[in-house]
A and B are shown apart, each in its own frame.
Chain A
Amino acid sequence: MYSVILSTASRYLLILLLLFSVFLLLRGHNEPGGGFVGGLVAAAACALYFIANGLEAARKIVFFDPLRIAALGLLLAAASALPSLLLGNPFMTAVWIDTGIAPLGKVGTPLLFDLGVYFLVLGVTLTIIFSLAAEDRRS
């Protein structure tokens, strides 16, 4: 399935799509988007790169083991509950930092949670695709 055009295009598309996914993630609190869509778009970007350049190249680009990315996501989401525990509020009560940080908008635990969702969805999807691809090549 190797194609020079696709392979070349996919490099730029990857960067663009990843940027777009982060954009979706960050604006998700106010506009359409969010961790789920962001993660899926990022995964689709990597999948596209995999189709164009093969499994090894894709693994190199992703760099981390996808299952670990998923674990990181779960951990981040769970960690977003910690502040509420420490402050003695009901479990998972949101905590916000009052002054916003310029490119991110308002910062608070829900953003951390959304980031967790993003990584989890990305990790899970890549785990599925990469495992299947490796299996595909072996058989």
Chain B
Amino acid sequence: MLSLLVTGFLASALAPVLYRRFRENFGWIAVIFPLFMFFGFLSRYPEVAAGEVIRESVPWVPSLGVNFSFLLDGLSLTFALIITLVGAAVFLYAGAYMKHYANTGRFFLSIGVFMTSMLGLVLSDNMLLMFVFWELTGISSFLLIGFDHRKESARRAALQALLVTGGGGLALLAGTILLHRVTGSVEISSFYGMSGIITSHALYPAIAILLLFAAFTKSAQFPFHFWLPNAMEAPAPVSAYLHSATMVKAGIYLIARMNHEIGGTPLWQDTVLIAGTATMLFAALLAFGQTDLKKLLAYSTLSVLGTLVMLLGIGSELAVKAFFIYLIAHSLYKGTLFLVAGTLDHETGARDVMKLGGLRRAMPVTAVTAALASFSMMGIIPLVGFIGKETVYKAILELEYWGVFLIAAAVAANAFIVMITLFVGFKPFWGETLLTPRPPGEAPLKMLIGPALLAVLGLLFGLFPGVFIAVMLQQSALSILSETLSLKISIWQGFNLVLLLSFVTLLLGGVLFLVRSRMPERLLALRAPALLKPSAWYEGSLRLLSSLARLQTRLLQNGYLRNYIIVIVVTAISLASFALYRSAGRFVLEPAVAVTFYEVALAFIIVVSTVLLITSKSRLKSIVALGVLGFSIGIIFVIYGAPDVALTTFAIETLNVILFVLVLYRLPRFLKLSRSSNRVRDSLIAGGVGVFMTLIVLYATSFELSPELKRFFAAASLPEGKGRNIVNVILVDFRALDTLGEMTVLAIAAVGIFAMLKLRTRGRA
């Protein structure tokens, strides 16, 4: 599976080059890639259907427990099949849809990277690996939403999606780290059977909340839903693919994947149930004010995502069954309808449903495709959406405590979805013909195949659920609940309460449609106050963040070099002094060895030249003082058995003098620039640093030094390094790689100096 993903990334990198060659026929080339992967996964179907769990693991950073480990079971195979199949439809479609855009090659690069990372996400058996792919989907989503980067709204929407889902990604990482502390592993399959340990651990609430936060942001659950409708700035294929069929389901996938080991507690189930229900209901209500095709679809997607999360919150066998069928149904019909919306926009130039009508004669194939998908979305027999909705209702009715409230919410939400469907799937094609900005015409073949394929599959899945869904359902349920379901799926269950509810839903939806069509726009002008909108909190926190940054920049980065230095030095010294103070008892001064006259004289010379340098106003005197200082230090090295260091010091000091003579004479005379109060303050700080460093050196020398390295180098120098000068052997043999690095630094400094002096920019400041 690793090789498959690597191929995916490589193929994506090739996309821009190939696009330049094939232009608008690139769709036919691009579609090979997801199709190839689709059939690759399909070939594993028999094994997975037989109950096998395919694992693969290649070590990456084994010391940290990060591995390329993958897991193919019912749940991940289902997701992988959806991702690649919808991907194929979208890629083919995009080839034609995107031809008027600039940089279409880059588009295919991003969407290819997205598809591969999304596959990686659902296949990962390692949570850190999953995190990497999770963020990669977020980044490719960012690039795709902001694809039309000249539009400010697109850039804002892209950033918003990135910040919200990226924040969730960090929560996923934090949750993973906490899980590691509890279980000692980040491999998902190693959590099996640890449910008791995890859920009873003190860190469990934190883990659960972090993981749910990640899932809710990614899957746009209330109150993080606001980024999804804004993400409709993306081109239609992106909305169809990322923001309805696949990426927004990553959070749901996470909940489903973690459900068995980490879920099951009241905290987990209730949070999931409440968030899901709230999203389902509010998103449906919010859709009422929209007239934009894609916004309408976005709100219905939100509502469906909420329903899916709610089902996981219920967590019964029936709910999991409903979850699974509804998930597949939604991917099929919503993908189709987004593509249809794109086609409408592409062929007529209008996206406002109120301005579209009677297009069925101009666009017959699109009209039929839309109708097919719409029937599925409304839950009309015999499409797969019907089975989905029926099972959802049944799962809710099974509940005793919350049942009545939830069923009312579900019926209401679904009625709104019916209304949305009527607006998106039927109104543009039927009724009176309205004038559109561009004369309408049928879309090219490339843009018809994909949606039609998905719509027809919706029909086939509905007619033969036993063939298409039942087997995978069993295996997925095994992953989510770790028990097999023996529930049969059939499309016709007789006349019962559930069927009655379906009728009620359709009826209500029709009424809503009629009301909304005749409602004057100004009634919708009423808006909720900003304080109640989560998107306003988002804006507010962004503003707060930037003003905080501004404030601290003004305080700390005020342009005075010495202030930066003072802040750094004083902070470091105070913190370290505190530590030093606490271990004050451990100072051991070495026994006083007779200090020779030479040493004292040397120290005296160093101090004198230092003082001279600080106080001197003459440049020549300063240079001399600096030279004396350097040579004195060289003599220290001579005394203490370091002839190589001493030689180097002497050579450097000689060159230094030349350097200073060349430069310093061109600079002005020293000026006394600082105020005397500053001088006093600086002296105090400098004195503090000096005392502190003296103490540090004394403290460090109070402990026994490990002689191991010294002994090793002494023993190995001649036999292994073939040299008697141990220092040089270390430099050119034992630690040659370090030296090579240091040489590189020197070379870079030389290049920098050369560039600064030789290459002058035109037009000086």
Contacts and interface: CB of A to CB of B under 8 A. Distances in A.
A133 B729 CA distance: 36
A110 B757 contact: no
Interface in A20-37: 24, 28-37
A80 interface: yes
A58 B740 CA distance: 29
A70 B750 contact: yes
Given A37-B651, A44-B655, A132 B757 contact: yes
Given A74-B743, A139-B666, A113 B732 contact: yes
Contacts of B659: 128-129, 132
A110 B655 contact: no
B747 A136 contact: no
B647 interface: yes
B663 interface: yes
B627 interface: no
A71 interface: yes
Contacts of A24: 647
Nearest to A120: B743
B517 interface: no
B648 A133 contact: no
Contacts of B740: 77-78, 81, 92, 113
Interface centre among A78, A92, A123, A129, by most chain B C-beta atoms within 10 angstroms, is A92
A40 B666 contact: no
Given A94-B722, A116-B743, 8 more contacts: A37-B644, A67-B754, A70-B747, A77-B743, A92-B737, A110-B729, A120-B747, A128-B659
A40 to B, nearest CB: 4
B729 to A, nearest CB: 7
Contacts of B753: 127-128, 131
Given A29-B724, A40-B652, A106-B722, A127 B662 contact: no
Contacts of A56: none
Given A30-B724, A40-B651, A44-B651, A110 B754 contact: no
A29 to B, nearest CB: 4
A12 interface: no
Contacts of A127: 750, 753-754
Give 10 nearest A-B pairs by CB, closest first: A40-B651, A29-B723, A30-B724, A32-B643, A124-B750, A34-B728, A110-B732, A131-B757, A127-B750, A132-B662
A34 B757 contact: no
B658 interface: yes
A61 interface: no
B24 interface: no
B643 A108 contact: no
Nearest to A119: B743
Contacts of B739: 77, 113, 117
- Interface bracket on A: 35 or more
Interface of A is mostly: helix
Interface centre among B654, B727, B750, by most chain A C-beta atoms within 10 angstroms, is B750
A9 interface: no
Contact of A110 (B658, B736, B744): B736
A92 B736 contact: yes
A136 B664 CA distance: 11
Contacts of A77: 736, 739-740, 743
B751 A67 contact: yes
Interface in B665-681: 666
A106 B652 CA distance: 29
A114 B723 CA distance: 12
Nearest to B746: A124
Interface centre among B724, B725, B736, B749, by most chain A C-beta atoms within 10 angstroms, is B736
A6 interface: no
Given A91-B737, A110-B732, A121 B746 contact: yes
Nearest to A69: B750
A40 B655 contact: yes
A43 interface: yes
A71 B728 CA distance: 22
B758 interface: yes
Contact of B728 (A114, A128, A131, A139): A114
14 contacts: A37-B647, A40-B652, A47-B655, A47-B658, A67-B751, A92-B737, A92-B740, A110-B723, A113-B733, A114-B732, A124-B747, A127-B750, A129-B662, A131-B753
Interface string B631-664: 0000000000001100110011011001100110
A125 interface: yes
Interface in B713-765: 720-725, 727-729, 731-733, 736-737, 739-740, 743-744, 746-747, 749-751, 753-754, 757-758
Contacts of B655: 40, 43-44, 47, 125, 129
Interface of A: 24, 28-37, 40-41, 43-44, 47, 51, 66-67, 70-71, 73-74, 77-78, 80-81, 91-92, 94, 96, 106, 108, 110-111, 113-114, 116-117, 120-121, 123-125, 127-129, 131-136, 139
Nearest to A94: B733
Contacts of B731: 34-36, 117
A28 B736 contact: no
B733 A110 contact: yes
Interface string B586-610: 0000000000000000000000000
A106 B724 CA distance: 12
A136 B651 CA distance: 23
Contact of B647 (A33, A91, A113, A132): A33
A91 B736 CA distance: 10
A124 B728 contact: no
Contact of A129 (B658, B720, B736): B658
A99 to B, nearest CB: 13
B736 A135 contact: no
A124 B666 contact: no
B724 to A, nearest CB: 4
B651 A32 contact: no
B556 to A, nearest CB: 34
B746 A120 contact: yes
B648 A40 contact: yes
A110 B725 CA distance: 13
A71 B750 CA distance: 10
Interface centre among B720, B722, B749, by most chain A C-beta atoms within 10 angstroms, is B722
B737 A117 contact: no
B662 A133 contact: yes
A24 to B, nearest CB: 8
B354 to A, nearest CB: 70
Interface centre among B659, B720, B721, B723, by most chain A C-beta atoms within 10 angstroms, is B723
Contact of B644 (A32, A80, A114, A123): A32
Contacts of A78: 740
Contacts of A36: 644, 648, 731
B747 A71 contact: yes
Contacts of B654: 44
A110 B721 contact: yes
A124 B751 CA distance: 8
A51 to B, nearest CB: 7
Contact of A37 (B648, B749, B758): B648
Contacts of A134: 757
A33 B728 contact: yes
A32 B737 CA distance: 21
B637 to A, nearest CB: 11
B644 A33 contact: yes
A27 to B, nearest CB: 8
Contacts of A70: 746-747, 750
Interface in B152-168: none
A132 B663 CA distance: 7
B152 to A, nearest CB: 47
